[in-house]
Amino acid sequence: MKFVEVAVDAPISENKTFSYSVPPDMSLEVGHLVLVPFGKRMLQGIVVETGVIPSVENTRDVSEIVFSDPIIDSFRMKLAMWMSEYYICSIFDSTSLMFPVGSHNRSETLISIGNSPEPFVGSEFQSKIRSFVRDHESISLERILSRFGGRARASIDVLVNKGELQKDIKTPKPSVRPKYRYVPVMTELGVKAIRESDLSRSPKQKAALEYLLNDRSGLTMPRLRKLFGSQPVKHLLAKEFIYQVKEKISRDPDLGVPHRNILNSTSLTFEQKNAAELASHIIREPEFSPRAMLLYGVTGSGKTEVYLNAVDTCLSEGKRAIILVPEIALTPQTIDRFSSRFPGDIAVLHSGLSPGERYDQWWKIKNGHYRLVIGSRSAIFAPQPDLGLVVIDEEHEWAYKQNEGSPKYHARDVSMHLAGITKAAVILGSASPDIESYQRAIRGRYKIAKLQNRFKKVEVLSENMEVSDNALTSHMASVKVVDMREELKGGNTDIFSRELISNLKQTIDDGNQAILFLNRRGSHGFIQCHECGLMQRCRSCDVGLTFHSDTNSLICHYCSASRRFTNVCTDCGGGNLSKYGVGTQLVAERFRELFPGVPAVRWDKDAAKNLKDYRNILRGGGLS
């Protein structure tokens, strides 16, 4: 008999596994997602080890395999074991980060009325539980416990033993599955029927066959039924004039239109060339140490060109790469830059995609369809085979830290450990590196390359055209700090300083563009009563509510609770409320007042709610 060690989806200590026997008709490997009995429940588990001596004398059989193929390879299993110990979580919690979306589901216990022939005899509490179940026909155990409390569990067990109630376990299945469509195909009998006019008395059947004969690409069975009716199509199937083929649909995300690659890949500055050569050396030499490189480049210094060069080297070595960006909003522009260099070779993984898109992208990546994966922090767990390079752009960003759920992890540290397992190279890019990363580079744990000059794009008209380093660099922008207290003393009560208004006017007159950055949504940050001094707060979170002028509402930016603004204090009933603070909505409104007719786009979480809105802005669309 064969045995396996399984990490079960249960609240257990790190590195804890359980022994199960493998049925004779089942073949298991490390990384298989399975269903196993655990106490009275049926839980998911991941096979961690095979062919072992069981840790207990009596073992239970593995019940079912969720996916026919292992979903975690040996490299990522080692990563999961390390995460379990380092972040103090169960092995299943760490491996679940690497599952295809919709695969991690827990079993559900359903309670229904039993078929006991005896009259009901029990306590008043048991009677209430029984009546509650009868009213709902079939209800989950969790809902019963939520209604009656934890002590109901013992009463339910008593009622189940008496036959008054029946307990069933609903086996968890993946909530996201492959998508298929059924396509009609004409048979030789169908072609013969048209040619010999056998369907003269069935005009709709004949019309359907003639429609198919024109080789309608993309036609599906539902569409055919809608055009010619269900009964005619049913008769065509029965007569074997047509049959239907099941085709798998790939739910690929819209990657957008790639930008034109303006700069020739060889037109790098001296600093960029040095950085690219260092990255190439690390990638080409698997035994080179250290395997990580900090690309410390000022804003606009051309770090992305170094990334592109490094990815090109990685792919030429027969390896694959993962590119991490801190925010979903940065993904479209990153995709555009990389897809212009590597068209048709890029997968995307982030929470902004639909579950179906993420599911299909995950399986395509695992099957080796893409050599490059771009996404936010969770993309580091993509099943990318033959990994040779991980790029972490803006590595200092807090968004690389997962602070919710279990395990809580840092994508940078996970990347480093994964690179150590797979012998991949890691490039950390930032204009203001994290202090830990910079200190590690100083101490020699990372290699370091600096880009101290800004990079200016120059269109290369010919491969023989020589471009000097001076033509490829530009000076840093000048910064001027304006004290708004001095503006107020000078009589300016506007939210814009006179210096800013003047520079905006000059920029617009010159035909250029401007960005006004403010890290606060809404119109005003908080509302305060002049009579009692109370600040209007969220009833649930006890934080100040933000005023949004477009909806005339007060919104909590923690829980999204909202209420209509009535200019009446909720404490004293006074009607003298004042608005304080400045948000992006107020800035946009004031800009339009100062510069009427000038196109302006407000880009914040309220205006751009999804990836489609982000792409619309980047393509020149307008959002109010």
For 362, other C-beta atoms within 10 Å of its C-beta total 24
Among residues of the chain, what percentage have pLDDT more than 90? 48
Tokens of 603: 């880009």
Tell me phi and psi for residue 374, to 5 degrees: -120, 135
Q: Give the pLDDT score at 374.
A: 94
How far is 264 from 267, CA to CA, in rounded Å?
A: 5
What is the pLDDT averaged over residues 289-315? Answer: 93
* Angstrom distance (rounded) from CA 526 to CA 579: 6
Nearest-Å Rg of the Cα atoms of the chain is 32
**pLDDT computed for residue 471 by the predictor:** 55
Neighbours of 123 (CB within 10 A): 10
pLDDT tens, residue by residue, 127-180: 888 888 888 878 888 888 888 888 888 888 888 888 888 888 777 678 888 999
Instruction: Please check whether residue 227 is in contact with residue 208, taking contact to mean a CB–CB distance below 8 angstroms.
Output: yes
Six token digits for residue 135: 């009213």
Residue 253 tokens read as 């995300």
3-state secondary structure of 560: coil
- For residue 324, the cross-strand partners are 375, 392
**For range 33-59, the mean pLDDT:** 88
Q: Quick check: helix, strand or coil at residue 251?
A: coil
Please give, one letter per residue, the 3-state secondary structure of 57-108.
Answer: CCCEECCEECCCCCCCCHHHHHHHHHHHHHCCCCHHHHHHCCCCCCCCCCCE
What residue has token string 């380093």?
Answer: 469
User: For 216-269, where are the alpha helices, taking DSSP H only?
Assistant: 221-228, 230-238
Distance CA 140, CA 124 (A): 21
Residues 544, 535 contacting (CB under 8 angstroms): yes
Round to whole Å and give the CA distance between 268 and 312. 14
Longest pairwise C-alpha distance within the chain: 97
Q: Could you tell me whether strands 562-564 and 553-555 are parallel, antiparallel, or unpaired per DSSP bridges?
A: antiparallel
420-470 tens-digit pLDDT = 999 999 999 999 999 999 999 999 999 999 998 887 655 544 455 455 555
φ/ψ of 472, rounded to 5, equals -100, 0
> Roughly what angle, to the nearest 10 degrees, separates helices 152-162 and 124-136?
80
**Range 212-223 average pLDDT:** 82
Give me the pLDDT at residue 401, please.
94
Check whether 623 has a pLDDT greater than 50: no
Q: What is the mean pLDDT of residues 483-490?
A: 91
Contacts of 32 (CB under 8 A, 6+ apart): 46, 47, 65, 66, 67, 70, 71
**Closest of 322, 310, 238 to residue 279, by C-alpha:** 310
Tell me how far apart the alpha carbons of residues 600 and 420 are, in angstroms, rounded to a whole number: 47
- The pair of three-digit structure tokens given for residue 388, joined into one six-digit string: 């040779």
pLDDT tens, position by position, 67-113 = 999 999 999 999 999 999 999 999 999 999 999 998 888 777 888 88
Place of tokens 């509650």: 132
Indicate the pLDDT class of residue 596, thresholds 50, 70 and 90.
Answer: very high
- Give percent above pLDDT 70 in the chain: 92
* pTM: predicted TM-score of the whole model, two decimal places: 0.77
